[in-house]
Amino acid sequence: MYVQNANVPDRKPVTVPGLLAMKTQGQRIVMLTAYDASFAWQLEAAGVDIALVGDSLGMVVQGHRSTLPVTLDHMVYHTAAVARGLSATLLVADLPFMADRDISHVLQAGARLVGEAGAAMVKIEGAAPHILEAIAALTARAIPVCAHLGLTPQSVHKFGGFRIQGREQAAADRVLAEALTVQAAGADLLVMEGVPVELGKRVTAALSIPVIGIGAGPHCDGQVLVIHDMLGITPGKRPKFSKDFLAGRDSVGAAIAAYAADVRSGVFPAPEHCFN
């Protein structure tokens, strides 16, 4: 049989408690999206810590203008494919739009993404009361949760576009308060997206759980990007906070390795990828 990971050197598996240890030790966490087994294998080979099956697949894979058309069936299909390409990399899967309609749907989504597809953790956007309940319900059933705050793409119609969040002092204070509540509800990880550098710094300092930034400045405990953005193959305009790591390099593997090195050394994100 063809063995997907035959050439990947043995690596200690990345775990949820291991991520907390990385924050404590000041070791930056490298995260990238993947949507299929081949890209998963590229992440694995480059030693990326976390693979995210993002609902961004609705945009970069399916060609929609937002993440809203993505269904739980789509997420399960892509998560299972990515799981087959990984061995030591921790696998996180997004809960799709409206999976939070009630707790039974949240738990059903958790059961399918973790039990059926092979994710180790699920990600959920926001900090509304029903989201805090969802985080607690998943955590109580031993499904680790990654929270996601700031520019939460499933709220695109409420925001009026993919707008940077937390620019005003009061809004920034609200995001920080939300971060404390998702941590208290049981989240083991937080993605902070599309916020000013100073807010990314405050949230990262205030929380005991690791904070992974995307357009949230260099002070976070780790960074995440959509893989199409960091390979320069996103159709149309890519977000300002992303960088084409394939430019000037000769392979996808070299681009991912350069991204991992630049995140770990703190070279990425640079000021031109940040908001003030």
Ligand X SMILES: CC(C)C(=O)C(=O)O
Ligand Y SMILES: Nc1nc(=O)c2c([nH]1)NC[C@@H]1CN(c3ccc(C(=O)N[C@@H](CCC(=O)O)C(=O)O)cc3)CN21
Contacts with ligand X, residue ranges (CB under 6 A): 33, 52, 54-56, 94, 148, 191, 193, 214, 224, 226
For 40-97, the DSSP string reads HHHHHHHT-SEEEE-TTHHHHTT--SSSTT--HHHHHHHHHHHHHH-SSSEEEEEPPT
Q: Shortest Cβ distance from residue 6 to ligand X (Å)?
A: 28
> Which partner in ligand Y, ligand X, Mg ion, none is near 178 (CB below 5 to 8 A by kind)?
none
| Amino acid (1-letter code) at residue 42 | Q
Cβ of residue 195: shortest distance to ligand X, in angstroms?
13
3-state secondary structure of 135: helix
> Shortest Cβ distance from residue 191 to ligand X (Å)?
5
Q: Which does 79 bind (CB under 5 to 8 A by kind): ligand X, ligand Y, Mg ion, none?
A: none
Q: Which is nearer to ligand X, 148 or 238 (CB)?
A: 148
55 near Mg ion, rule: CB under 5 A: yes
How many CB atoms lie under 10 A from the CB of residue 96? 23
83 binds, among ligand Y, Mg ion, ligand X, none (CB under 5 to 8 A by kind): none
| Residue 77 buriedness (CB in 10 A; 0-12 / 13-18 / 19+) | middle
CA pair distance 9, 123, nearest whole angstrom = 28
100 is in an annotated binding site: no
Which candidate in 116, 133, 193, 272 is catalytic? 193
Please choose which of ligand X, Mg ion, ligand Y, none residue 224 contacts, taking the beta carbon within 5 to 8 angstroms, the exact cut-off set by kind.
ligand X
Is 94 marked within a binding site?
Answer: yes
CB of 93 to Mg ion, least distance (A): 10
Nearest to ligand X of 8, 188 (CB atom): 188
Instruction: Output 8 or 259, the one with its CB closest to ligand X.
Output: 259
Query: Residue 52: CA atoms inside 13 Å, Cβ hemisphere, count?
Result: 30
Packed helices 129-140 and 103-110: angle between N→C axes, nearest 10 degrees: 40
- Comparison of 55 and 188: residue with beta carbon closer to ligand X: 55
- Is 198 one of the annotated binding-site residues? no
Tokens standing for residue 274:
């940040």
Annotation-wise, does 155 bind a ligand? no
| Subset of residues 57 to 96 that bind Mg ion, contact rule: CB under 5 A | 94
To the query of whether residue 44 is one of the catalytic residues in this protein, the response is no
Q: Which residues of 226-263 are buried (b: 16+ CB within 10 A; e: fewer)?
A: bbbbbbeebeeebbebbbebbeeeeebeebbbbbbebb
Binding site for Mg ion (CB under 5 A): 54-55, 94
Binding residue positions for Mg(2+): 55, 94, 125
Binding-site sequence positions for 3-methyl-2-oxobutanoate = 55-56, 94, 123
Q: Known catalytic residues?
A: 193
